[in-house]
Amino acid sequence: MGQINYTFDPKNVYELKDLFDLLHRYYPGIPADYRKIGVPCSSDSEKDKEISKLKKEIEMHQKENEKNVARISELEQQLTEAKELSKIAEEDSERLSKQVSDMKAENDRLVSEYSEKEHKLNDELIAKLNSFKEEKEKDIASLQKQIAELVKKLAIYEPSLNGGTEEDKFFNIDGINLSETYDDSAPFIGKVNANGDAIFNFNNDKGQHQYYSQNPSKLEAFCEVSDSVDGANHIGLGEWGKGKYNRGLLVITTKAKIKLTRE
């Protein structure tokens, strides 16, 4: 700014006004009216109010900024923690994924191993069943053969009677004949057809084996001894004898054959 060259008469009020007006132009802080020097300016008061208001707003903004800074710091901390948790979760996920993969591989291995063992055991079981079936078929065939042989033998021991047979009849010794009784422990048992034809033999089931094996003479009228041993205590059957039955009395026509054995 250039130097101001101005002369005035201090006693001239108008010139004083002009001077202040000129100064005010170059220095707005100097009032245009000299009479306002030292007097509080209403505009200054408004400025102070504005400044005070601005200061309060600045303080408010500073406090808000401090809160924001604290919040940002808190969010940054949370973000850091979240990143750490995300990293941990990612590591856990990778570890779990590997465990799942390992478990799946192990499961596939076990399934394959179990399937192989199952097929092997199934084959072994089928082979054993086939072998068992063959053995049982052989056993059945052998038993059937034995049964057929036993049937033949039984046919000798207990021949069939023409005209059918009745139920078992029991007989006691009555002289040289046999008389019917209801005592199932009688010494003889027999069967009779409708014509009175009869077969008989020693009561092998409930007869008195020891007594008659030691006293075979009691049976001489009815039986022939085809075989014997010393100290016999049991009577074994040979061939059935024959007779004629009439009204409870059995007349002997062919003697039965017995064996004196020891048990």
User: pLDDT digits over 123-155, tens only?
Assistant: 888 998 888 888 888 888 888 777 655 644 554
Average confidence (pLDDT) over 36-62: 71
**218: DSSP letter:** G
pLDDT tens digit sequence for 175-199: 999 999 999 999 999 999 989 999 9
d(CA 74, CA 209): 114
β-pair type (169-174, 188-192): antiparallel
Q: Which residue has the tokens 């303080």?
A: 59
Between 26 and 14, name the one with better pLDDT: 26
Structure tokens that stand for 114 in this block = 């179990």
**pLDDT exceeds 80 at position 9:** no
What is the share, in percent, of the chain residues with pLDDT greater than 90?
35
Task: Select, from the ranges 119-123, 136-140, 209-213, the one with the highest average predicted confidence (pLDDT).
Answer: 209-213
Q: Which residue has the tokens 């003889």?
A: 188
What pLDDT does 7 receive? 59
What pLDDT does 235 receive? 95
**4: DSSP letter:** P
What pLDDT does 152 receive? 47
pTM over 0.85: no
pLDDT tens digit sequence for 219-263: 999 999 999 999 999 999 999 999 999 999 999 999 999 999 998
Average confidence (pLDDT) over 30-41: 66
**7: DSSP letter:** -
Q: What is the average pLDDT value for the chain, to the nearest integer?
A: 82
**Least confident segment among 24-38, 45-59, 87-101:** 24-38
What pLDDT does 76 receive? 86
